[in-house]
Amino acid sequence: MKKTSILFILIIWCLSAISHPKSSGNHIIPVPISSVKNIGGFFGHRMELNRNNYIKTFPIDEYVQFIEKREHIGWGWTQAEQHGKWVESALLSSIQSEDQALSTKVDEMLNRIIRSQEADGYVGATAKSYRSPERPLRGMDAYELYFVIHAFITAYEETGNQDALASAEKLCDYIIRYIGPGKAEFWPSDLRYPDNVHKVVAGQSLLAGHSVHYSWEGTLLVDPFLRLYEITNKKEYLDWSNWIVQNIDKWSGWNAFSKLDSVADGTMGVHQLQPYVHSHTFHMNFMGFLRLYRITGDKSLLRKVTGAWDDISLRQMYITGGVSVAEHYEHGFVKPLSGNVVETCATMSWMQLTQFLLELTGDVKYADAMERLMLNHVFAAQSCDGDGLRYHTAPNGTKPAGYFRRPDCCTASGHRIISLLPTFLYAEGDNGLYVNQYMDSEYAGKDFHFKVETQYPETENISIKISSAVSTKQKLHLRLPQWCNRPQVKLNGKKINDLHSGTYLTLSKKWKKGDVIEITFPMDLKWVKRENHSDYSYKDLPGGEHMYSELPTDRIPYAWMRGPVIYALDMVWNDNIADKAIQTSTDVLIHTDKTPVITSKPDNDMLGPVYQTVATCKNQEVNILLTPFANIGQWYQDKNNKPEKGKGTYSYAIWLYDK
């Protein structure tokens, strides 16, 4: 009887201490970026390069001067969106790295921007002489100011800067003063309702950016407005945002907002919302809808966004986790392998949108999608020197052409998302602390401190060592990714059984210094045949946007995968093939009947492991190296002999044809 009672108690304790929820069941928020320390390995190195070789050397002074002068009347937006993205990413990077010199520079630039704010609240680039009550913003102002408002709010949240918060409020008050019922509205063209219904438009709108975006480039302001509402609780920001959302259907002429219900039903693809669905713009709007859901509890908003996310991830997400075809979403499974695909702006906003859904739902599938993107495409878009980023990063392409530093939307978005990455690792909620992404780093919370020691995903092993903890019981939730069929976890050397992929493993105990969690995620190795593959042709819309059609083909390419890591044939490292700009789709045939074997890395700074396998090149059998796609920003072997960045010197390809 006594033994039975003890056994029963032990079983109950185990069930209460270890659980496997797919989702957390409550909202979670990222931990303060200041609590994420000492990021190491490949990713920490690339973040450091982003900070030192891009952010700190970027000529931000001239772009702040551009805002201070406020003489802009043209359509171009690239100059006017640099300062908002730079301030936010530089601030986050300086806090996380404890870089005091960068922090001082951020303060200087932020204060100059704030001092330039006009008495009525405007702080953009557009000349005062150009603006009027009927035209309070220049066409791309809304898009540019989206990032300025976010930068102001981030400065307030991270440093307590009251001036930044006041500037955000003044700017939003300016917009409300001139845009609203009976005032200026976000019409994408000269057409008005109902004459605009189902009309195809092009060109440039007065207030809502590109006309082909059908007003969504103005309505994206809902996201920062509601972020400001969550801080200030000023009802006018919520009322204005509700008015915006209620008018999207009317302004678009295509009932695009209401059609999201059909996307959620599975009866419509997201590409059918209107004639052109710009990926990045829609992501930013979706984040506004999610904030409105969080504030109001209106589940129809969450349903709209999760339905769109599911459709995109099913049909329009590349194997690397990246999204967008020529900056938009296409019909069916149309995802060309080369050309202007996977825009870096879309990478940034897709990552943020997915993180937001993870925070609201706690569903592991969102963290899995972020991992795929983080491990593959984010750093593939960055040059290995950290001084440039690509506008598009196709799965198959050439380099170093495309890695550049000139001020455009995507280079700015690239350095911003790299600076945001530490905010995606850990989260906290009423139900404990969450480890969402695994990266060599330290978490230094108020009452809990641990170190994650790993070279993941280069290795399969992760160790979490507790260095300090409060004496009360605390729950630690560990993501077990869906892609891993056989996850293994030990707590202080004792194996935990009955693990479930695609869930959080919840460990609940009184943690103490010296506790160790050992995690192993075995990675399957496999050749993957591309599904829904076609050849493609495209035509241009009146504004120059590419729209694709499928062409039949009986040739289907393959990719090499190791767990969540995607590999590429990168001609920088393949000295066995003399022609470095070779056409991989015609001249290199992979032997998928061969299993690649691990070999030594040709460069210590690259992410590994590296595999060697067999291919046929121009009728000659050769050994080739396959390297993780994240490394394609390496565009030279010899640092003293670098090709010019504007050339297509080397080719690379994830997708290869079988012999």
Encode pLDDT of 214-272 as tens digits: 999 999 999 999 999 999 999 999 999 999 999 999 999 999 999 999 999 999 999 99
Q: Identify the pLDDT of residue 473.
A: 84
Structure tokens belonging to residue 431: 């139900």
Give dist(CA 51, CA 128) in Å, integer.
34
126-130, 473-477, 540-544: which is most confident: 126-130
Average of per-residue pLDDT across 439-460: 96
- Is residue 379 classed as helix, strand or coil in its secondary structure? helix
Q: Identify the pLDDT of residue 20.
A: 62
Structure tokens belonging to residue 250: 């009317």
Q: Mind listing the pLDDT tens digit for each residue in 11-30?
A: 334 434 555 666 545 689 99
Confidence of residue 499 (pLDDT cuts 50, 70, 90): very high
Give dist(CA 449, CA 372) in Å, integer.
27
- Strand extents, DSSP E, 21-170: 29-30, 36-37
Give dist(CA 70, CA 403) in Å, integer.
30
Q: Mind listing the pLDDT tens digit for each residue in 569-621?
A: 999 999 999 999 898 878 999 999 999 999 999 999 999 999 999 999 988 99
In the block, tokens 């009932």 appear at: 255
Q: Identify the pLDDT of residue 6.
A: 41
In the block, tokens 């969106």 appear at: 81
Q: Mind listing the pLDDT tens digit for each residue in 274-326?
A: 999 999 999 999 999 999 999 999 999 999 999 999 999 999 999 999 999 99
- Is residue 577 classed as helix, strand or coil in its secondary structure? coil
User: Which of 124-133, 381-390, 465-474 shows the lowest mean pLDDT across its residues?
Assistant: 465-474
The pTM score is: 0.95
Q: Identify the pLDDT of residue 22.
A: 62
Q: Identify the pLDDT of residue 153.
A: 98
Give dist(CA 408, CA 280) in Å, integer.
14
Burial class, 513, CB count within 10 angstroms (exposed 0-12 / middle 13-18 / buried 19+): exposed
**How confident is the prediction for the chain on average, in pLDDT?**
94
Give dist(CA 110, CA 129) in Å, integer.
25
Q: Identify the pLDDT of residue 505.
A: 97
Give dist(CA 652, CA 198) in Å, integer.
42
SS (H, E, C) 157-182: HHHCCHHHHHHHHHHHHHHHHHECCC
pLDDT at position 69 over 70: yes
Q: Identify the pLDDT of residue 618.
A: 87
Quickly count: other Cβ atoms within 10 Å of residue 291's Cβ: 23
Q: Identify the pLDDT of residue 172.
A: 98
Give dist(CA 79, CA 144) in Å, integer.
9
Q: Which of 627, 625, 593 has its CA nearest to residue 612?
A: 625
Confidence of residue 10 (pLDDT cuts 50, 70, 90): very low
Give dist(CA 133, CA 135) in Å, integer.
5
Q: Which of 301, 282, 444, 283 has its CA nearest to residue 360?
A: 301
Q: Mind listing the pLDDT tens digit for each residue in 37-62?
A: 999 999 999 999 999 999 999 999 99
Confidence of residue 446 (pLDDT cuts 50, 70, 90): confident
pLDDT at position 405 over 70: no
Single-letter amino acid code for the residue at 418: I
Q: Identify the pLDDT of residue 454.
A: 98
Give dist(CA 583, CA 652) in Å, integer.
9
Average of per-residue pLDDT across 637-648: 85
SS (H, E, C) 337-376: CCCCECEHHHHHHHHHHHHHHHHHHCCHHHHHHHHHHHHH
In the block, tokens 């390419």 appear at: 557
564 neighbors 483 (Cβ within 8 angstroms): yes
Q: Identify the pLDDT of residue 13.
A: 40
Single-letter amino acid code for the residue at 569: L
